[in-house]
Structure 1
C-alpha cells in the first residue's frame, strides 16, 4: 500500500530541465561562478574552490509553491572563451540560465555571445553572480538590465557566496516561467483540438442535412 503511494507521488512530479551556461573559470582557485550558483542551490553550501573540468548533470527535488518539482540541472563547462554552447543544449533544456560574474567583464561578453549561438525558444534568466564583491565590480547593474531587455528575459544579481534564499529564488522563478509556458501551450493545443472538432461537427451536420431526402 505504501509503496504504491510513493510510486504515485513520484510519477506526479513535474520535471524541469535547466541548463546553466557561463564563461570558463580563469583558474582552479577562482571558482567558476556557474558551478557556485548550482552547488549553492543543490546543497545550500558555498564552494570556494572547485576543479570543474566537464559538463555535469544533477537531479534535485524541491518544493515550489507547495508542489514537488524534480530539477535536472546541466552545469556546463566550456574549455575556453572561444567555446560556445551548442544549440542542442537549448533543445534539451526547458529553461536556461546565462551566468556571468559582475567582477569579470569578459564573462559578461561571453554570455552575450552564448545567447547569439543558442537561439533558445525557452524561458531564460540572466544572472550576475558575485554581487557581494561590489568593490571589484566591472559590470554595472544597468548593463545587466539592458542586456536582459535585449534578450527579452528576466534579470537578477545574486551573491552565491552569501545568499542562499536569493539563489534558490532565481531557480524557482525560472521554473515558474517554464511551468507557465507549458500551461499556456497545453491550453493552446486543447483550444486547437476543440476548435477542429467543433469545425468537424459543423461540417458533418451540414453534410448530413444536405443528404436528407427531399419531398
Structure 2
C-alpha cells in the first residue's frame, strides 16, 4: 500500500536515521499485514523506515504492548467509507494519547467520496484532539501524498528524539549547574589568587 521511491540514496546504513512506524487501523481500510523496510530522503537526510502494517483480528483488538514498545511513531488509518474504522481509530488514538509517541492520522479511500461516511471535519477534529497531523489520501493511487504522510510522521519522530535528548541533557546538567561556578576570563587574570 505505502510505496515510496528511494532512488539515488547511497550511504552507509550506519549514517541512516532509523524510524519504526506501526500502521494501525481496522480491517478493510486499505492496509495489509506486512513488515518491511524502505529507505527515503526526509529533509535531504536518508532515513530507513521499518514499517509494521498491522491488522486486527476483530474490531475490539488494540495494538499489543510489544507493537507500541517497538514503534517510534504510529500511523492511524481509517477509511472515509467506513464509520466503524473511524470509531476504531478514535478508540486506539484515545488510548495512545497519554503515551509519548508521535501519531499521525490518515483517512484513506479519498477517491470514494460518493460513499463517504466520515467527514473531513471529523478527521480534523480527531487529529486536533490527538494533537497530531491529518491527511486524507487515496493510498492505492496517490504515492506522493502517502509519502508526505510518512515524512510528516518521521519529522515528528525525529523532533521528539531531539527534544528527548535535549531534556535528558538538561536534567543531567541542570542538577550539576547549581554547584558549578562559571569562570569568565578577563583583564585581571594575573590577579587571581595563587594556591
TM-score, normalization: structure 1? 0.74
Secondary structure in structure 2 of the residue aligned to 1:34: coil
Conservation of the 8 A alpha-carbon contact between 2:109 and 2:137: yes
Q: Which residue of 2 aligns with 1:33?
A: 30
Pick from 83, 91, 98: which aligns with 1:105? 83
CA positional deviation for 1:195: 2.5
Conservation of the 8 A alpha-carbon contact between 1:90 and 1:121: no
Q: Which residue of 1 aligns with 2:112?
A: 133
Distance in 2 separating the partners of 1:121 and 1:89: 14
CA positional deviation for 1:81: 1.1
Per-residue CA deviations over 1:119-158 (Å, capped at 9, x if unaligned) read 4321101110011111111100001111111212111101
Q: Which residue of 2 aligns with 1:47?
A: none
| Unaligned runs of at least 5 residues, structure 2 | 1-10, 182-195
Distance in 1 separating the partners of 2:159 and 2:129: 22
Per-residue CA deviations over 1:169-190 (Å, capped at 9, x if unaligned) read 0000100011111111112222
Secondary structure in structure 2 of the residue aligned to 1:33: coil
CA positional deviation for 1:90: 2.2
Equivalences for residues 143-162 of structure 1 within 5 A: 143-162=122-141
Distance in 1 separating the partners of 2:65 and 2:13: 30
Q: Is 1:57 equivalent to 2:35 in the alignment? A: yes
Q: Which residue of 1 aligns with 2:16?
A: 13
Structure with the larger helix share: 1
Distance in 2 separating the partners of 1:15 and 1:57: 15
Distance in 1 separating the partners of 2:149 and 2:178: 43
Distance in 2 separating the partners of 1:99 and 1:149: 15
Secondary structure in structure 2 of the residue aligned to 1:192: helix
- CA RMSD in angstroms, aligned pairs only: 1.7
Pick from 175, 184, 193: which aligns with 2:172? 193
TM-score, normalization: structure 2? 0.81
